[in-house]
């Protein structure tokens, strides 16, 4: 293994060949080499102190504001079975009203929704059984009244991140339980003395039915109406105050929520790549084994530099230990790039590993 020598190494990934890693410099079947080199300084005392602080921190929990008393009870529609026609789309908008939001001293605020069952399409130029999520974007809008200006839109997530709908005819990666997605907003945008209205929608024109769109999770509710849907929209949240709340919803509650982070909830998250292993046989995949130290870790993921040198997410997040992630080199352009692992907690803190340099050759 290369665990003890990773910080001195660099990765060269030869696409299309399986490479057997025996040490820092190992020959593959094609005569090529694989190297590892971690970019940045050696771990020092500051890193050890961060690990210690993260391990011993006791932070107050975020305040979750939603209609149900347990945010984990939104388990309907978006995990499987009957979907209730609860799709998030271009021609439908979901709206929720929040009253009596707990007042307090908050440092951060997030609005979110729980989504799942994203639909897929064949990948051009690949076998029919290879599928990818239909491209699209999901947005939330926040207002103190049931009408929303375009400037109030907040990006929530890309459909590449949403768990996929299962396929009865093909083996499909990425299928799983619906997940909460969060978008940060200024605390001052939350109305603590009146109503806060949140709208959920998509500007993607293709999302016009359950056949193409992601599904919004729901939970068992009651007779009181504080949520609505509007199917007279065209890729935006309703603008007209008088007609926006078109159809009231009872019995079920849409999974739309607010998360409030109390003050002094910062912690340092220590992230370290401890091993890089060969991935699936006859592929150029690599498995990154990652150590993450901190409380309340919510998700861990890989990032790769794009053509502009900016960090971009690669693949799907892992939501529980062990933190092992797959780098699919076949999806990357040829040439030198950098890879790092990132982690975030329930308070919105994030940590990043020291980057590893890779070279993809074809």
Q: Which range is most confident: 10-24, 244-258, 280-294, 318-332?
A: 244-258
Torsion of CA 200, 243, 86, 120, to 10 degrees: -60
pLDDT of residue 362: 67
- Residues above pLDDT 90, as percent of the chain: 71
pLDDT in tens, 173-205: 999 999 999 999 999 999 999 999 999 999 999
- Residue 132 pairs in a beta bridge with 121
Is the pLDDT at 317 greater than 60, yes or no? yes
pLDDT of residue 20: 30
User: Residue 55's pLDDT band (boundaries 50, 70, 90)?
Assistant: very low
Predicted structure pTM score: 0.85
Mean pLDDT of the chain: 86
Work out the average pLDDT over 33-61: 55
The pLDDT value recorded for residue 127 is 87
Dihedral sign of CA atoms 39, 42, 43, 44 in order: negative
Residue 54: C-alpha distances to residues 108, 214, 308 (Å): 20, 36, 33
Q: What is the pLDDT of residue 280?
A: 87
The closest of 283, 280, 318 to 302, measured between CA atoms, is 318
DSSP 221-251: --S---EEEE-S-SSS----TTTS--EEE-S
Q: Is the pLDDT of residue 9 over 60?
A: no
> Looking at residue 260, what is its pLDDT?
98
pLDDT for res 29: 34
pLDDT digits (tens, 9 = 90+) for 216-270: 999 999 888 999 999 999 999 999 999 999 999 999 999 999 999 999 999 999 9
- Are 359 and 13 in contact, with CB atoms under 8 Å apart? yes
Q: Write down all domains in the chain, each with its CATH number in brackets.
A: 3-58+266-361 (2.60.40.10), 63-262 (no CATH)
Statement: residue 39 has pLDDT above 70: no
Asked if residue 70 lies in contact with residue 114, where contact means CB atoms within 8 angstroms, the answer is: no
DSSP strands (E only) in 99-151: 106-116, 120-122, 131-133, 137-143
């Amino acid at each position: 293994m290369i665990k003890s020598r990773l910080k001195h190494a660099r990765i060269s990934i030869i696409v299309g060949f399986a490479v057997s890693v025996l040490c820092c410099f190992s020959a593959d079947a094609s005569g090529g080499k694989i190297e590892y080199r971690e970019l940045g300084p050696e771990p020092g005392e500051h890193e050890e102190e961060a690990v210690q602080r993260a391990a011993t921190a006791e932070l107050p929990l975020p305040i979750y504001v939603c209609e149900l008393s347990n945010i984990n009870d939104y388990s309907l529609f978006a995990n499987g079975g009957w979907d209730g026609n609860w799709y998030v789309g271009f021609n439908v908008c979901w709206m929720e009203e929040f009253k009596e939001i707990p007042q307090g001293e908050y440092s951060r605020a997030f609005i979110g929704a729980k989504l799942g069952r994203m639909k897929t399409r064949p990948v051009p130029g690949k076998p029919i059984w290879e599928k990818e999520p239909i491209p699209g974007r999901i947005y939330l809008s926040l207002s103190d009244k049931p009408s929303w200006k375009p400037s109030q839109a907040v990006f929530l997530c890309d459909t590449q991140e949403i768990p996929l709908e299962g396929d009865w005819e093909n083996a499909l990666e990425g299928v799983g339980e619906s997940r909460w997605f969060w978008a940060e907003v200024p605390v001052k945008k939350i109305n603590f003395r009146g109503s806060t209205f949140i709208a959920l929608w998509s500007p993607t024109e293709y999302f016009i039915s359950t056949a193409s769109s992601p599904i919004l999770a729901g939970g068992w509710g009651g007779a009181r109406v504080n949520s609505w849907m509007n199917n007279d929209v065209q890729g935006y949240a309703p603008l007209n105050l008088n007609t926006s709340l078109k159809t009231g919803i009872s019995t079920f509650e849409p999974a739309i929520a607010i998360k409030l982070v109390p003050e002094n909830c910062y912690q340092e998250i220590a992230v370290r790549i401890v091993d890089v292993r060969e991935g699936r046989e006859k592929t150029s995949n690599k498995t990154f084994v990652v150590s993450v130290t901190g409380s309340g870790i919510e998700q861990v993921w890989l990032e790769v530099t794009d053509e502009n040198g900016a960090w971009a997410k690669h693949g799907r997040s892992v939501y529980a230990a062990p933190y092992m992630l797959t780098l699919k080199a076949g999806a990357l352009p040829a040439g030198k790039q950098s890879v790092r692992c990132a982690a975030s907690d329930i308070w919105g803190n994030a940590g990043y590993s020291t980057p590893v340099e890779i070279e993809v050759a074809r």
